[in-house]
Chains A and B, each alone.
Chain A
Amino acid sequence: MCTTCGCGSNEVRLEGAALTPHDHDHDHDHDHGHDHGHGHLHMHVPHDEHGFAQVPWAPHAPAPMGTRIVQMERDILEKNNRYAAANRTEFTARGVQALNLMSSPGSGKTTLLVKTIESLRDARPIAVIEGDQETTRDAERIRATGAPALQINTGKGCHLDAQAVGHAIAELPLHPGGLLLIENVGNLVCPAAFDLGEAHKVVVLSVTEGEDKPLKYPDMFRAASLLLLNKCDLLPYLEFDVGFAIECAHRVNPGLPVIQISAKTGAGMPEWLAWIESERHASVLAHGI
């Protein structure tokens, strides 16, 4: 998580343009989900005979007199979650299926996206948000397929956040029945904690990595709804134990569906496309979109 990697979030750029808290119009109809007057109840703190505040639940040293306790009860990721809820509402209203793809750098996400777009572009509208610390190279690769793509550069940030994605979806053409593929920054840690408003998180693990990655980075595999085991065309040349990799993934997320795939040869692509379609149908049944 970002407390580990120390990343900052003040240098986010959308297609080269800086995002600052005041240069956007994303403060429209957020469903904030909280009352602005709420959560700040004043409490008269009882004091003991030594003049120390007594806070019943907290195992801390008593506070000197003259101070007071403010109840907060606020989620630290609340701001991101608020933007994510707004994005989710927007996706539902516009009838768009959004998937958040996450993996280590170099797992083949962008190639997988290119192949996915080539397979689906005649069937439904597709748009892509690309997340990288620097460069617009991935967005350019996607645009070469004809699909609209926007690049978010996170600068020192190691993950996409819901606010940046909100800016991007305001500029992307999203059509009813469309598919929005969000390629997160290559990182198996922090992106797991930041909801973007997507319908599902999909984690991509390539067979050139270790089988035990799910044990080493459990949050990511726990947050995912699907594991794509990519670059399976290389299995004959590697000592990668597919069964053990799946066992590791199921250790952190029992029941996680796994598809063995090769974006290069197309093996497993029909199963991946079928998964997207079945989740879309499930969403139509649940939300009417």
Chain B
Amino acid sequence: MSLSQGIVELIEDAAHRDGFASVRTVWLEIGKLASVETQSLRFCFDVATRGSCAEGARLEIVATPGRAWCLACSQAVTIDDALADCPLCGSRQVQVTGGTDMRVKELEVE
């Protein structure tokens, strides 16, 4: 819920500075390793946007890849799951380096 409130604050902030009255679509970029339940996020988004300029807006969530560094084979790898083994060498010594971010990418407004 805090995340959804954060999204609404960013949107209201942008509406104030950018002079738009309502939001049709919100695009989010959510890293695959961000541990966000997108179903819950959609539900909370609907609740949090009520009474705001984003009420009724469509929520589009774009998943960005999880990135990690394998300590065993010393290479950057792409993983879909925070507990994944290295896809190259199978090692468990994998340190997450990216794909945990949550961003409001852009808005379609009118």
| Distance, CA A76 to CA B34, complexed state (A) | 12
Cα-based distance from A277 to B32 in the complex (angstroms): 36
Report the minimal beta-carbon distance from A59 to chain B, rounded to whole angstroms: 7
Using an 8 Å CB-CB cutoff, how does the interface string of B66-110 with A read, 1 for contact, 0 for none?
000001000000000011000000001111100001111111111
Q: Report yes or no: A76 in contact with B14, Cβ–Cβ below 8 A.
A: no
- B94 near A254 with CB under 8 A, answer yes
Number of A-B contacts (CB under 8 A): 131
User: In the complex, are the beta carbons of B6 and A3 less than 8 A apart?
Assistant: no
List of B residues within 8 angstroms of A53 by Cβ? 108
Q: Looking at the assembled complex, report how far the CB atom of A47 sits from the nearest CB atom of chain B, in whole angstroms.
A: 13
The reply to whether B108 and A63 contact each other, CB–CB distance below 8 Å, is yes
* A67 lies within 8 A of B108 (CB): yes
Instruction: Report the nearest B residue to A64, measured CB to CB.
Output: B24
Q: From residue B3, how far is it (CB to closest CB) to chain A in Å? A: 5
B24-38: contact bitstring with A at CB < 8 Å (1 yes, 0 no)? 110110000011110
Nearest CB of A to B36, in Å? 6
Interface string of B1-30 (1 = CB under 8 A from A): 111111101100010011010001101100
- Chain B residues within an 8 Å CB radius of A79: 6, 9
Known A-B contacts A40-B17, A66-B110, A219-B35; the reply to A1 vs B104 at CB < 8 A is no
Q: Does A73 contact B (CB under 8 A)?
A: yes
Cβ–Cβ contact A222 & B108, under 8 A: no
Q: Which one of A4-12, A98-106, A107-115, A237-245 is at the B interface?
A: A4-12
- Distance in angstroms from A247 CB to nearest chain B CB is 9
B40 interface residue, CB < 8 Å from A?
yes
Q: Which listed residue, B6, B18, B35, B83, touches A76 by the CB 8 Å rule?
A: B6
Asked if A74 and B10 make an inter-chain contact with CB atoms under 8 angstroms apart, the answer reads yes
B96 touches A222 (CB 8 A): yes
A59 CA to B60 CA, complexed, in Å: 9
Chain A contacts of B6 at CB under 8 A? 76-80
Measured between alpha carbons, how far is A255 from B92 in the docked complex, in Å? 12
Check if A55 sits within 8 Å of B2, measured CB to CB: no
A interface residue count range (under 10 / 10 to 19 / 20 to 34 / 35 or more): 35 or more
Contact B3 A72 (CB under 8 A): no
**Alpha-carbon distance A77/B2, docked complex (angstroms):** 9
Please indicate the chain B residues that have their CB under 8 angstroms from the CB of A199 in the complex.
none
Find chain B residues with CB under 8 A from A36 CB. 17
Residues of B within 8 Å of A49, CB to CB, are none
Q: A58-B62, A72-B107, A251-B83 are in contact. List 20 more A-B contacts (CB 8 A).
A: A1-B3, A6-B40, A9-B1, A9-B2, A36-B17, A53-B108, A58-B27, A66-B110, A67-B110, A68-B20, A72-B14, A72-B104, A73-B104, A74-B10, A76-B104, A157-B2, A193-B35, A254-B92, A255-B71, A255-B95
B contacts, CB < 8 Å to A: 1-7, 9-10, 14, 17-18, 20, 24-25, 27-28, 34-37, 40-41, 44, 60, 62, 71, 82-83, 92-96, 101-110
Q: Show 25 residue pairs from A and B whose CB-CB distance is below 8 angstroms, ordered by the A residue.
A: A1-B34, A2-B2, A3-B3, A3-B44, A8-B2, A9-B2, A36-B17, A58-B62, A58-B106, A60-B60, A63-B24, A67-B110, A68-B110, A70-B106, A71-B106, A72-B104, A72-B105, A73-B104, A73-B106, A77-B6, A78-B6, A159-B2, A215-B83, A253-B95, A254-B93
